[in-house]
Structure 1
Amino acid sequence: MTTSEASGRLVIRGHLISDDRSIGDGAVAFDGDRIAFAGPAAEFETLPEAGSYAGVDVPAGSLLLPGLVDLHCHGAAGGDFASADPAMVRRAVDFLHQAGTTTLLASLVSAPPEAMLEAAGTLAGLAEEGLVEGIHAEGPFLAASRCGAQDPSVLTDPDPGFVDALVAVSRGQLRTMTYAPELADADGLVEQLAQHGVVPSIGHTDADLETTAASLRLAREELASAGFDGFTERPTVTHLFNAMTPPHHRRPGAVTACLEAAATGGAVVELIADGHHLAPETVRAVFALAGPEAVALVTDSMAATGLPDGDYRLGRADVVVRGGEARLAADGRLAGGTATLLEVLRSTVEAGVPLAEAVVSATCVPATVLGLADEVGALHAGFRADLLVLSPDLRLRAVYRRGVELEPNNRAT
């Protein structure tokens, strides 16, 4: 049942898994839209106010996880965030919430300036309503040689005027931007983004190791000196491995620079661990090398997410989905994902990553990138009442967002 307001005082018992905690007999209590308690059930029962909370029946063996946080998704359920159609955008957001992604950035693909500005204005309104956490601009300052599913005809070198216009129309809701560090005046772009409170994210790049490493260092310095409360000091890397120079033993490339930065605390790397973009062994190796605290699991989901195989659009590109894999109709290149973040979490565990580590990378790491480490991404008193109830095999049984129980959609169950 979906309700329009928080459900009052509720308590749910199960196996609690959050940040560095695993509590077999745990309890999470909501007081309206906030978590009032998260910890051992025996401890909750000793509280004087425990009797004022209504118990919620869940099947034995249920797992209790924080709501998932996605830094990179382009849509779902037929809705594309690059469109300026509010109804379709809301449809996508509703689907993602009901699939367990309770916090998300809405990602834009590269497009003509007027189209990106119009879409950003629409998304800013949803962010102001609290439906999305902000906007991620994937471009347009990307390398045409590594454009992936991006339209090469609209890619350009950094343009300070366009950045100012995008920041203005986003009304403070632009949170991250993907850029290629080898482009002309990419350093100036990094400085400009940090000054506006926007996290630079390296991606869609043909840069070598030295250029990539230098840009990551600059981004860290600029973020550290930005002076925003709760602001991350780590830049991000847009879908590591995909659309960037791969590692070679004599030409290490951007991937090697990004991995080293992540392993030494200097970056957070996105992984599309959906079974299509990366081999399971690659996912497992990144967790082993960089650690879960430097990995953000993402979906890169497109409008086809939650829908059957068929023909779809990603921005201005025609996309064909077969067996859940999205590829450009024109040349067969991968074109975003069709998995939900819960499905990515499940695939990550199937790849051999321990569940507790995968949960960290799908919750508290992306929350930290967004400056929300004290608000979402973990189960603690005072945090938003965002909670997933899962079966032992990570199937969705219930989802709460801001204390409101949502109806799980068919794709997520």
Structure 2
Amino acid sequence: MAPRAERTVLAGARVVLPTGTVEDGRVAVEGARISGSAPESARTVDLTGHWVVPGFVDLHNHGGGGASFTSGTVEEVLTGVRTHREHGTTTLVASTVTGELDFLAHRAGVLSELVEQGDLAGIHFEGPFISPCRKGAHSERLLRHPDPAEVRKLLDAARGTARMVTLATELPGGIDSVRLLAEHGVIAAIGHTDATYEQTVAAIDAGATVATHLFNAMPPLAHRDPGPIAALLEDERITVELINDGTHLHPATLGLAYHHKGADRVALITDAMDAAGFGDGRYQLGPLAVEVTDGVARLVEGGSIAGSTLTLDTAFRRAVTVDRLPVEDVVRSISATPARLLGVDDRVGSLEPGKDADLVVLDEDFVLKGVMRRGEWIIEPKTA
């Protein structure tokens, strides 16, 4: 990592601000924060021909760099964090997968320490409170109903660092668990669910606010049985996660979500597992074996998709170059919207004076060239 850019002005780039894109823009950095004016004696970095966008915020991530957030040591977790930072994710939530409740409580204790020291932005529990009908890459024998007392056990183990819990809210205890999460300021996310349209509406009314990887691990939209997808798309209280890796979603499906929700209610996520930024091979996702071939992760037994090997710089580039979304919309979905959901938008998610100097430099083809986090270059862009 390069030393902190104590006084730096990034000049000449297209800078994406909350109000729109500024041509030949300037971003002033002083210490760890964005400054309202260029500091005296600042070093100027000429980024003509580049884009400067806010650092990416990932709500849903199981690991990377060969390391698992679900089972890795502290150092292995930090390896995964560093891997994703090198791909532009400056704010990251660590996601678990289904396991024994005591094991998940123990993992929450480990991960909470990394939240408290600023390496992670929180913990997301994906499982065990999900439907066996839509389990995806989760061990069916470890699934359980969302008993509010057991949900509370995980929240207590996380010591205030839990940010989101994914639930199949149609299961016994689901609605009461949603209410419990809402009361504690934790996101109740509907996912890995076999719910009907009506059951999904009831969960939203109870306080659910996020759809875990919309379209995946839930019944498809049908003309006489709209299921959860219609309810999640039509309700403005719901923000939907999308995995834009070209495997989980067809571009038209992604476009449908944007059409109905808008960028302010779409959060681009990775749902990454260990292989992200690492390569093909055999991995473990919780107790299940995963084979990654050509960048696609599937369970060895059954062949279900097992998370992704996506990084958010790839998701960004695909959204602009393949899906043809406006750059400003992609920035909102990959930075501002997830930051708002996490309640950290006062510090990150947009390029504004006083916020953390978290930013990503992209070339004209939207290939990552630089990453700064809290004023320190993780990857320093090469300039002429």
Q: TM-score range by the shorter chain?
A: over 0.9
**What residue is the counterpart of 2:353 in the other structure?**
381
- In the alignment, the residues of structure 2 paired with residue 84 and residue 389 of structure 1 have an alpha-carbon distance, to the nearest angstrom, of 30
**What residue is the counterpart of 2:281 in the other structure?**
310
**What residue is the counterpart of 1:202 in the other structure?**
190
Contact 1:18 1:360 in 2 (8 A): no
- In the alignment, the residues of structure 1 paired with residue 296 and residue 272 of structure 2 have an alpha-carbon distance, to the nearest angstrom, of 11
Contact 2:372 2:380 in 1 (8 A): no
Q: CA deviation at 1:162?
A: 2.2
2:84 counterpart of 1:85: no
- In the alignment, the residues of structure 2 paired with residue 250 and residue 184 of structure 1 have an alpha-carbon distance, to the nearest angstrom, of 25
Task: Report the secondary structure of 1:72's partner residue.
Answer: coil
2:252 counterpart of 1:281: yes
**What residue is the counterpart of 2:32 in the other structure?**
33
- In the alignment, the residues of structure 1 paired with residue 33 and residue 116 of structure 2 have an alpha-carbon distance, to the nearest angstrom, of 19
2:338 counterpart of 1:340: no
Worse overlay, 156-165 or 281-290: 156-165
**What residue is the counterpart of 1:232 in the other structure?**
none
Q: CA deviation at 1:401?
A: 0.3
2:29 counterpart of 1:56: no
Contact 2:54 2:358 in 1 (8 A): yes
Give runs of aligned pairs for residues 1-400 of structure 1, distance below 5 A: 1-3=1-3, 6-13=4-11, 14-37=13-36, 50-58=39-47, 60-219=48-207, 235-261=209-235, 265-349=236-320, 350-400=322-372
Task: Report the secondary structure of 1:158's partner residue.
Answer: coil
Q: Which runs of 5+ in 1 are unaligned?
A: 38-43, 221-234
- In the alignment, the residues of structure 1 paired with residue 132 and residue 195 of structure 2 have an alpha-carbon distance, to the nearest angstrom, of 12
Contact 1:18 1:359 in 2 (8 A): no
Which amino acid is 1:248 matched to?
A
TM-superposition CA deviations, 1:344-389 (whole Å, max 9, x none)? 1112221121221111100100001001122111000011110111
- In the alignment, the residues of structure 2 paired with residue 78 and residue 63 of structure 1 have an alpha-carbon distance, to the nearest angstrom, of 30
* Percent of residue pairs bearing the same amino acid type: 41
Q: CA deviation at 1:51?
A: 3.6
Worse overlay, 287-296 or 65-74: 287-296
Q: CA deviation at 1:84?
A: 4.6
Q: CA deviation at 1:165?
A: 2.1
- In the alignment, the residues of structure 1 paired with residue 310 and residue 339 of structure 2 have an alpha-carbon distance, to the nearest angstrom, of 20
Contact 2:65 2:276 in 1 (8 A): yes
TM-superposition CA deviations, 1:96-141 (whole Å, max 9, x none)? 1111000011000010112211211111011011011000000211
Contact 2:8 2:39 in 1 (8 A): no
- In the alignment, the residues of structure 1 paired with residue 148 and residue 195 of structure 2 have an alpha-carbon distance, to the nearest angstrom, of 21
**What residue is the counterpart of 1:228 in the other structure?**
none
- In the alignment, the residues of structure 1 paired with residue 119 and residue 87 of structure 2 have an alpha-carbon distance, to the nearest angstrom, of 14
Q: CA deviation at 1:168?
A: 1.8
Change (3 A) 1:96 1:408: farther
Q: CA deviation at 1:160?
A: 2.6
Q: TM-score scaled by structure 2?
A: 0.96
Task: Report the secondary structure of 1:363's partner residue.
Answer: helix
- In the alignment, the residues of structure 2 paired with residue 383 and residue 397 of structure 1 have an alpha-carbon distance, to the nearest angstrom, of 22
Number of residues of Structure 1 aligned to a counterpart in Structure 2: 379
- In the alignment, the residues of structure 2 paired with residue 26 and residue 236 of structure 1 have an alpha-carbon distance, to the nearest angstrom, of 34
Q: CA deviation at 1:163?
A: 2.1
- In the alignment, the residues of structure 1 paired with residue 77 and residue 39 of structure 2 have an alpha-carbon distance, to the nearest angstrom, of 40
Task: Report the secondary structure of 1:117's partner residue.
Answer: helix
Q: CA deviation at 1:86?
A: 0.8
Contact 2:372 2:379 in 1 (8 A): no
- In the alignment, the residues of structure 2 paired with residue 174 and residue 76 of structure 1 have an alpha-carbon distance, to the nearest angstrom, of 20
Q: CA deviation at 1:50?
A: 4.5
Contact 1:177 1:198 in 2 (8 A): yes
Which amino acid is 1:52 matched to?
S
Q: CA deviation at 1:336?
A: 0.2
Contact 2:147 2:174 in 1 (8 A): no
- In the alignment, the residues of structure 1 paired with residue 380 and residue 202 of structure 2 have an alpha-carbon distance, to the nearest angstrom, of 44
Q: TM-score scaled by structure 1?
A: 0.89
Which amino acid is 2:302 matched to?
D
- In the alignment, the residues of structure 2 paired with residue 192 and residue 364 of structure 1 have an alpha-carbon distance, to the nearest angstrom, of 26
Contact 1:287 1:353 in 2 (8 A): no
- In the alignment, the residues of structure 2 paired with residue 214 and residue 167 of structure 1 have an alpha-carbon distance, to the nearest angstrom, of 23
Contact 2:370 2:380 in 1 (8 A): yes
Which amino acid is 1:311 matched to?
R
**What residue is the counterpart of 1:226 in the other structure?**
none
- In the alignment, the residues of structure 1 paired with residue 313 and residue 350 of structure 2 have an alpha-carbon distance, to the nearest angstrom, of 16
Contact 1:107 1:136 in 2 (8 A): yes
TM-superposition CA deviations, 1:27-50 (whole Å, max 9, x none)? 11111111113xxxxxx5xxxx55
- In the alignment, the residues of structure 2 paired with residue 164 and residue 259 of structure 1 have an alpha-carbon distance, to the nearest angstrom, of 29
TM-superposition CA deviations, 1:40-89 (whole Å, max 9, x none)? xxxx5xxxx5543211243x211000000000000000110101511111
Contact 1:99 1:408 in 2 (8 A): no
- In the alignment, the residues of structure 1 paired with residue 49 and residue 190 of structure 2 have an alpha-carbon distance, to the nearest angstrom, of 41
Q: CA deviation at 1:214?
A: 1.3
- In the alignment, the residues of structure 2 paired with residue 202 and residue 153 of structure 1 have an alpha-carbon distance, to the nearest angstrom, of 21
